Amino acid sequence: MNTKKLITRTLFLLFLVTMLIAILVPFFAFLATSLYSSSEVYQYPRTMMPRFTYDMKITWEDDMYQLSVYEDDIEDYELKIYTNSPEKLRIYLKKQYSVQLTDEEIVADFSKSKDGTAVYMQYKKDLLYNFKTFFTITSNADKAIMNSIIAAGWTILISLSIGSMAGYTIARYRIKWKKQINLSLLIVRMFPMVAVSIPMLVYLIRMGLNGTMFGLAIVYSVGNIALTAWITNSIFQGISVELEEASLVFGANKIQTFFKITLPLAFPGLVACSMYAFLAAWNDSIVALILSNSNPTLSLLIYKAIGMSGDIQLAAAGAVILVTPSLIFTFIIKNYINQLWGDVKF
């Protein structure tokens, strides 16, 4: 009996550990990529950890600086560029290796090679170079962040209010056509939004909502209201009616019952719904591109600045910026779910 339990326990543990590794490893690799320099991306074979420094060799030949960089896989210095312009060297070191120097520093360091000896330098790589580049390219990141927050906020408000009203009604009241209404809520999610965005855009422009965060929220809520209704429907169904009836017996009216008994019990579900609404608004770039190109959300800003380019380390940096608030939101929410059920603190 004991060994069986032990085996089940170990299996479960193994499963848990595998899942965690499967989730964390790609995520950390992605974080690491955002710290790579342009040349690091293509190193093979390599470790996942980003580099911190580069070893370089400078010689002076044919009236030009010959710059070589140490490559781990061949265990030697490889010639990369030759030029006699410090400006070109500065730009090269910045773009390819995230090494930031001034023209004067380059002249000071490199000119020692002019007497015929090779100069060996170790330069620090600017780990945050990709992030700095991102903020240079995008001119109004702070406004975009505000926009994303506003859009997400409106989406949560609209979806939760309309959706949970519908969900509660379907769960509690005896209405005709309950089944059909249930089904029709699902139908909304069945029609691919890709084809409907353009007519919706036209309609929103006529309403004067083109370029507003409220207009975006309306589009995001289309799918979310149905989702909220469906989720809250099943959550409210799971809250036993007896509890509400008991409260009524004790003299509370329907509204008090709802706010003091039903709502607290439904909180986890409502929280889950708000997270969906938040993510739908925060992460979308395609709807925002069509509807509010001139007033971008953060996700659209990143998409426009970096989206389709081949510089994967920049895309990773932009994505890290986008993911951070979502992660913080998720972290806060997860605490809340568990606190509500009085668990062991970690």
Q: Which of residues 212-271 bind another protein (CB under 8 A)?
A: 218-219, 221-222, 225, 227, 229-231, 234-235, 237-240, 265, 268-269
Least separation in angstroms between CB 141 and another protein:
13
Least separation in angstroms between CB 309 and another protein:
5
Q: What are phi and psi of 66, to 5 degrees?
A: -110, 115
State the residue for tokens 């009996």: 1
CA-nearest of 146, 140, 159, 141 to 278 is 159
Q: Based on CB atoms, which residue is closest to another protein, 88 or 109? A: 88
- Which residues inside 287-326 make contact with another protein, applying CB under 8 A? 293, 299, 302-312, 314-316, 319, 322-323, 326
Pick the binder of another protein from 53, 117, 256, 335 (CB under 8 A): 335
Residue 11, CB half-sphere, CA atoms under 13 Å: how many? 6
Asked if 337 is part of the footprint of another protein (rule: CB under 8 A), the reply reads: yes
- β-strand pairing of 64-71 with 76-83: antiparallel
Q: Based on CB atoms, which residue is closest to another protein, 217 or 247? A: 217
Least separation in angstroms between CB 60 and another protein:
15
Least separation in angstroms between CB 249 and another protein:
18
Q: Based on CB atoms, which residue is closest to another protein, 95 or 153? A: 95
Choose the binding region for another protein from 9-17, 52-60, 100-108, 149-157 (rule: CB under 8 A).
Answer: 9-17
Q: Based on CB atoms, which residue is closest to another protein, 192 or 251? A: 192
- Which residues inside 149-208 make contact with another protein, applying CB under 8 A? 161-163, 165-166, 168-170, 172-173, 175-177, 180-181, 183, 186-192, 194-196, 198-200, 203, 206
Asked if 100 is part of the footprint of another protein (rule: CB under 8 A), the reply reads: no
Longest CA pairwise span in the chain (Å): 98
* Site residue total, another protein (CB under 8 A): 131
Strand ranges of the sheet holding 119-124, from the earlier edge strand across to the other edge? 76-83, 64-71, 53-61, 119-124
- Which residues inside 38-67 make contact with another protein, applying CB under 8 A? 38-39, 41-48, 66
Alpha carbon distance 311, 327 (integer Å)? 24
- β-strand pairing of 53-61 with 119-124: antiparallel
Radius of gyration of the chain (CA): 29
Asked if 2 is part of the footprint of another protein (rule: CB under 8 A), the reply reads: no
Choose the binding region for another protein from 50-58, 79-87, 108-116, 118-126 (rule: CB under 8 A).
Answer: 79-87
Alpha carbon distance 250, 53 (integer Å)? 72
Asked if residues 160 and 168 have their Cβ atoms less than 8 Å apart, the reply is: no
Cis peptide before 45 (omega within 30 of 0): yes
Give the chain's length: 346
Q: Based on CB atoms, which residue is closest to another protein, 117 or 339? A: 339
- 3-class DSSP state of 340: coil
Least separation in angstroms between CB 52 and another protein:
18
Asked if residues 97 and 33 have their Cβ atoms less than 8 Å apart, the reply is: no
H/E stretch holding 213 reads helix 213-238
